[in-house]
Structures are given as structure tokens and as C-alpha cells.
Amino acid sequence: MTDSRLAGSMSEELVAESDAPVTPDRIADDLRALGVETDDTLFVHSSLSALGWVPGRAQGAVEGLRRAVSEGTIVVPTHSTDLSDPSEWENPPVPEPWYGPIRAATPAYRPDATPTRGMGAIADCLRSYDDAVRSAHPLYSVAALGPDADRITNDHPLEDGMGPESPLATVRNLGGRVLMFGCDWGRNTSLHLAEQLADIDAGRVEAGAPITVDGRREWVTFTEPDYDDSDFAACGEAFVEARPEDTATGTVGNADAVLFDQPSLLEFATEWLEVNR
């Protein structure tokens, strides 16, 4: 008799593509070989499926990260953009008559409960840990585990989701590094911070989201930068080529990985955007 629980929860393709289970210890070893330090402040963008077959799935990957950064702080993006104004939705759009009911009915953002959207299983798992701390922005929150978690997540203004007053900037101020594995430069939120540091006319747009105000759910509106990731791939590739001393490439499990200093990326990307955008 077969166990349908196993068949339903694990991908046959991942088994076929993996030479062995990608255990938490292997993930930690691969991260150390890449250059991750135990006391890093590490902002992680990730794809669970790219790692290979991981025992425990996302939890196993989080445990591997924690073993590698045992004395530092791990930060992940926990964006929840399905709480945004439905009039701005494109993937997929909804009919205009739905806008009002969605704005009226969507539950308020709750750092302890609101799921992520499009951030991957690892980020969504880490934000659920008992000792994780998540920032208050209803659309562009981050979650952190480690000694600097409170400092990174404490202040997150509505109108500065990924800008110079956001947790991304606190990671920069802490001399943090960024780890990407199994995902492309379009996922790198640090480049959105570079957009706002650069002397370019990015413009601002109106946004909205449901939050709790004085104990009651309210739909609030605010302005935010007109974010644009269309040239992030070109910017990231140029950075890796121009700053090899600040980057390391390798693999974590089966995933291609890159590790780099966030302040160095921001310095380079700010200038690159001013010239190329």
C-alpha cells in the first residue's frame, strides 16, 4: 500500500533532478562555501523548488539558513500586494464593479497572519516562525529573524515601502548582504531602494490598503513611488561584471546563487540608473 500523503506533497520532478536530498546541513555548507558568515545581516530572495528535494520543504530550507547565519539576522521580503488597490491589478485584473466590494471587504493587514504573495515558500515559512518579527507595511513588509530583527522591522512608513526610511535602508546601514538563489534580478527589492536614491524622475502614484487604525479596520490611501523593475536584469548583470570583488557566485543545493554586499550594489545601481534610465 502506497502512502498518498507522500505522493501528494513531493514533486517527482524534484526527486529526479536531485542526486541526493538537499538537507539543512547541505544548505548551510553550501552557503558557507559561497561566503555567508555566521554573523551576517542577510537579505534573502529565494526559490524553494530551485534548491532540489529538501526534507521538510520550506522549513528545511529555513533551518539551513539559520544554521549558516547562526549569530546574525536573516531578512526576507514578505510582500502582500493582494491587499493593494484592485484598480491597479494586472495579473490578473478584476472587473471594475468589483473594486468597491474588494476595498470594503479585504481584511486588514496583520503581520502575524497575512500571507505573502509571490515571495516564495521560504519567505512565507520564515515569517511564521515564533521568533520572527514582521514590519507593519501592508504591501511591502519584510520579516526578520535574529538579534537585529526589531531594529530592521520597527519603522516602516506607509509612503516609504522600499525607500530610504524602509527596512531595506536599515539593512544597508547595518552593512548587510543580499543572497539570491533560484530567482532573477527582477526579484531584488534592493534595486527599488536604488531607484529612490538615484537622481531620476520616478514619479509617485496613489495606493491603498486595509490596515487597523485605533482598533478598527480602515481602507487608507497614500502615495508611493511608481516602481519599475524593467531594467533590473541589465543593472544586476552590469553590477556583477563591474564589481566582482563584491560578489560571489556558486550553487546552493541545485540552485544558482549570488551573494553580494548591499551597500556596494546600491552605490553602483544608483549611478547606473542615473545614466541608463
Domain annotation covers residue 7: no
Domain annotation covers residue 198: yes
Q: How many domains does the chain have?
A: 1
Residue 10's pLDDT band (cuts 50, 70, 90): low
Domain annotation covers residue 119: yes
Tell me the pLDDT tens digit for each residue of 109-125: 999 999 999 999 999 99
pTM of the model: 0.94
Residue holding cell 547541505? 26
pLDDT at 6 over 70: no
Domain annotation covers residue 266: yes
HSE (side-chain half, CA atoms, 13 Å) at 270: 14
Measured CA to CA, the distance from residue 119 to residue 216 in angstroms comes to 28
Domain annotation covers residue 270: yes
Domain annotation covers residue 13: no
Domain annotation covers residue 118: yes
Residue-number span of the structural domain to which 262 is assigned: 24-276
Chain-centroid distance of CA 87 in Å reads 24
pLDDT at 8: 44
pLDDT at 18 over 90: no
Domain annotation covers residue 171: yes
